[in-house]
Amino acid sequence: MTADTLIEAPDVAQPATGWSQEAIARCVATVVRSRRATRAFKAQPLGRALVEEILADAACAPSGANIQPWRVYVVSGAVKNELTDALVAASRAGTAPAPEHFPEPLPDTYRARLADFGARYYASLGIERHDTPARTRQTERNYAFFGAPVGLVFSIDRRLKAHSWIDLGLFAQSVMIAAKARGIDTCPQVAFAQFHEPIAAHLQMPADEVTAFGMSMGYGDPEAEVNRARMPRERVQDFARLLGFGD
Ligand SMILES: Cc1cc2nc3c(=O)[nH]c(=O)nc-3n(C[C@H](O)[C@H](O)[C@H](O)COP(=O)(O)O)c2cc1C
């Protein structure tokens, strides 16, 4: 993309709504705090126009030097189902490289949180800790985008560094918030990263792109137990140090 193909950023400094700052803050907090990783969806479809609106909002995400390194493939219908079939087949073949998203060994603090996540997640599904076949079946649900009508695959130029992967993460969170503001649920999924080869072949990605993660998108099923699992957060005083405030 060259500079002359860029669209001008809209000036949204003054909200057009006439809402008070307090109302806007409450609204944003409600959306941010109600977003959940959603792993069961209603059959209700999601139209192309709505997805494009969400992506246009998310494209306002910041990026270092405004290089906007995000790339996203959005799949629905038969294209999504064919991708799912290819990934399930690749997963069952057991030929994909091992997942690399956490170091081995994982530092204790994070290992404890990972264990807490696993306990909550599998309890919400009624899956016992040592029931490996059931866990494997649930992992495979990732590749079916947990039954969501729309799936996204986020990729990035493999030559870029960690700095630009931050941009991609900010973009993804913006997608999730823009979706949630419209009542649409999502689940970000690193489970796709392992399957770059079949994904790239299926989506005809250029050779310089690498799959970073996927995302399910649709209307969450509020009745599904898995969507009722709640993941706790550290308190601000435990992860932040505020310095120089004089109190
Ligand atoms: C980068 C990233 C990758 C993730 N990968 C997966 C995944 O592969 N499968 C999955 O079910 N959830 C995945 N999640 C969802 C997390 O488990 C979830 O965000 C976390 O447990 C906090 O729960 P919450 O989002 O409902 O607040 C991922 C989240 C992020 C941010």
* Model confidence pLDDT, tens digit, residues 14-41: 556 789 999 999 999 999 999 999 999 9
Ligand 1: residue of 174, 231, 234 to mutate (most ligand atoms within 8 A of CB) is 231
Q: Which residues pair with 76 in a beta bridge?
A: 150
Query: pTM value?
Result: 0.95
List strands edge to edge, sheet with 150-157.
Answer: 71-76, 150-157, 209-218, 185-189
Distance 206 CA to ligand 1 centre (A): 27
Sign, CA torsion 118/119/124/125: positive
60 found inside a domain: yes
Q: What is the pLDDT of residue 9?
A: 67
Task: Please calculate the CA angle 185-53-51 and round it to the nearest 5 degrees.
Answer: 50
115 found inside a domain: no
28 found inside a domain: no
71 found inside a domain: yes
Total H helices, total E strands in the chain:
8, 4
158 found inside a domain: yes
209 found inside a domain: yes
Instruction: State whether the beta carbon of 212 lies less than 6 angstroms from ligand 1.
Output: no
Instruction: State whether the beta carbon of 141 lies less than 6 angstroms from ligand 1.
Output: no
Range of the domain at 219: 35-97+142-226
Instruction: State whether the beta carbon of 190 lies less than 6 angstroms from ligand 1.
Output: yes
For residue 172, give every residue at least 6 positions away whose Cβ sits within 8 Å of its Cβ, in sequence order, or none: 58, 70, 154, 188, 213, 215
Contact 70, 184 (CB under 8 A): no
For residue 134, give every residue at least 6 positions away whose Cβ sits within 8 Å of its Cβ, in sequence order, or none: 125, 127, 128
Instruction: State whether the beta carbon of 143 lies less than 6 angstroms from ligand 1.
Output: no
Distance 193 CA to ligand 1 centre (A): 13
Q: What is the pLDDT of residue 17?
A: 73
200 found inside a domain: yes
pLDDT tens by residue, 64-106:
999 999 999 999 999 999 999 999 999 999 989 999 889 999 9
Task: Say how many domains are in the chain.
Answer: 1
* Other beta carbons within 10 Å of 83: 24
d(CA 189, CA 206): 21
Instruction: State whether the beta carbon of 188 lies less than 6 angstroms from ligand 1.
Output: yes
Instruction: State whether the beta carbon of 76 lies less than 6 angstroms from ligand 1.
Output: no
Q: What is the pLDDT of residue 247?
A: 80
CATH number at residue 181: 3.40.109.10
pLDDT category, 244, cuts 50, 70, 90?
very high
Q: Which residue has the tokens 């690749």?
A: 90
Instruction: State whether the beta carbon of 37 lies less than 6 angstroms from ligand 1.
Output: yes
Which residue's CA is minimally distant from atom 9 of ligand 1?
189
d(CA 142, CA 49): 25
Q: What is the pLDDT of residue 119?
A: 97
